[in-house]
Amino acid sequence: MKQRYWILLFAAIIAACLLVWLLPRGGGQTALVYQDGTLLYTLDLRQSRTLTVTGPAGENLITVAGGEVFVSYADCPDQVCVQHGPLQKRGGPIVCLPNRLTIEWAKHDAQVDALSGTGGLS
Amino acid sequence: MRLKKLTLTAVLTAAALVMFVLESQLPPLTVIPGIKPGLSNIFTLFAMEALGPGWAFGLFLTRVTLGCVITGQGSAFLYSLAGGLCAYVLMLLLKKALRGNTLWVRSVLCAMAHNAGQMAAAAAITRTCAVWSYLPVLIPAAILAGTLTGLCAQLVLNRLEKAGLIPVNQVPNKQEEEANG
């Protein structure tokens, strides 16, 4: 009898998590590249570019193309960040644990101007 | 009896390692790191129940260390260790709180603690909170994986108990054991 409550509880947690996960968040035109918790780059997704980030495990090649940002090459063995594909409107950031790198959505597109001034919004 | 337990722990550790290496050869289920069935934990659970916490801890530590050496995933060591320690502490607490046929429930809760520990380690290493946004995926994954491993261990334990092979303390060849010193 008691097990039934546990099953219900776990099912409810799974349902709640799926709901949270499917809520859209982020989006927009600006992505932020962090390493070790410090902001490295502010990317305007409307401008195609390629940049290299070097970390403890090697290099990551970050590509912005077609309004999307993705890691096109990584030195590390697990390739998790490459297989993640482009940064999605739903779902989590691109994370490279070996190089302590994360790529996530900016809260507001306006940050491009404020932080780097090179966002090219004008 | 100590010798018997030591031998059994060694065999279980070997089996857990084989399972760990086999599992690491499977293609990743999702792009998100840390989502896998964790089948080697069946043996940790088994040791926890059949032999006791000390032996299970030895098994866990050996499995994590040797597993990382064998698969060559050095960076995974810290995450595994952080997750495993969280799960281990929670299991010790739950062992007294939840009795009866609830090994799978404890297994699920420990799987969640494991993922939370891993996330905390990842957040500490990357120094971002961004990794926490994986939590809504990792929690359901922990529930599924924990149920799977928990039920496996529970079913095996129940059968061995019925057959009179567990707990190991009560194996009836005491004289032999004393003769062996």
ipTM, 2 decimals?
A: 0.73
Give A12 to chain B, closest Cα distance, Å.
10
Q: What is the pLDDT of residues B117-151, one digit of tens each?
A: 988 888 888 777 777 777 888 899 999 999 999 99
Distance (Å, rounded) from C-alpha A93 to C-alpha A31?
10
Residue A39 lies inside a defined structural domain of this protein:
yes
User: What CATH number is attached to the domain comprising A62?
Assistant: 2.60.320.10
A44 located within any domain: yes
Evaluate whether residue A73 is within a structural domain: yes
Total structural domains within chain A: 1
- Tell me the shortest Cα–Cα distance from B144 to chain A, in angstroms: 9
| A15 within some domain | no
At residue B11, the pLDDT reads 95
End-to-end CA distance of chain B: give it in Å, rounded: 10
Q: Distances in Å between the alpha carbon of A106 and those of A30, A60, B132?
A: 6, 20, 16
Note the pLDDT tens digit of each residue in A67-114.
889 999 888 777 888 888 888 877 678 888 888 888 888 876 544 444
The answer to whether residue B170 scores a pLDDT higher than 80 is no
CB-nearest partner of B143 from A14, A83, A104: A14
Alpha-carbon distance of B96 to B32, in angstroms, equals: 34
CA B146 to CA A81: how far, in whole Å?
Answer: 26
Under DSSP, is residue A17 helix (H, G, I), strand (E, B) or coil?
helix
Query: Mean of the pLDDT values across residues B83-111?
Result: 90
Q: How many angstroms separate the CA atoms of A99 and A60, rounded?
A: 8
Looking up residue B58, the CATH number of its domain turns out to be 1.10.1760.20
Q: Is the pLDDT of residue B171 over 50?
A: no
Q: Pick the residue with more confidence: B134 or A121? A: B134
Residue among A97, A96, A122, A92 at smallest CA distance from A110: A122
Q: With CB atoms and an 8 Å threshold, state whether A97 touches B122.
A: yes
Q: Give the model's pLDDT for residue A24.
A: 66
Amino acid identity of residue B9, one-letter, is: T
Q: Which residue has the tokens 């993705």?
A: A70
Closest by Cβ to A92, choosing from B72, B126, B133 = B133
Domain of B101 in residue numbering reads as 2-25+33-180
> What CA dihedral angle connects A105, B29, B127 and A25, to 10 degrees?
20
pLDDT greater than 50 at residue A58: yes
Beta-ladder partners of A38: A35
**Cα–Cα dist B114/B7, whole Å:** 27
Count how many domains chain B has: 1
How high is the pLDDT of residue B77? Answer: 86
- B176 pLDDT exceeds 70? no
Q: Could you tell me the pTM of the whole model?
A: 0.71
Q: A66-78, pLDDT tens digit by residue?
A: 888 999 988 877 7
In a domain, A122, yes or no: no
A-chain CB neighbours of B126 within 8 Å are: 34, 36-37, 95, 97, 100-102
pLDDT at B27: 76
The range of the structural domain enclosing residue A85 comes to: 25-116
Contacts of B101 in chain A (CB under 8 A): 3
Alpha-carbon Rg of chain A, whole angstroms?
Answer: 18
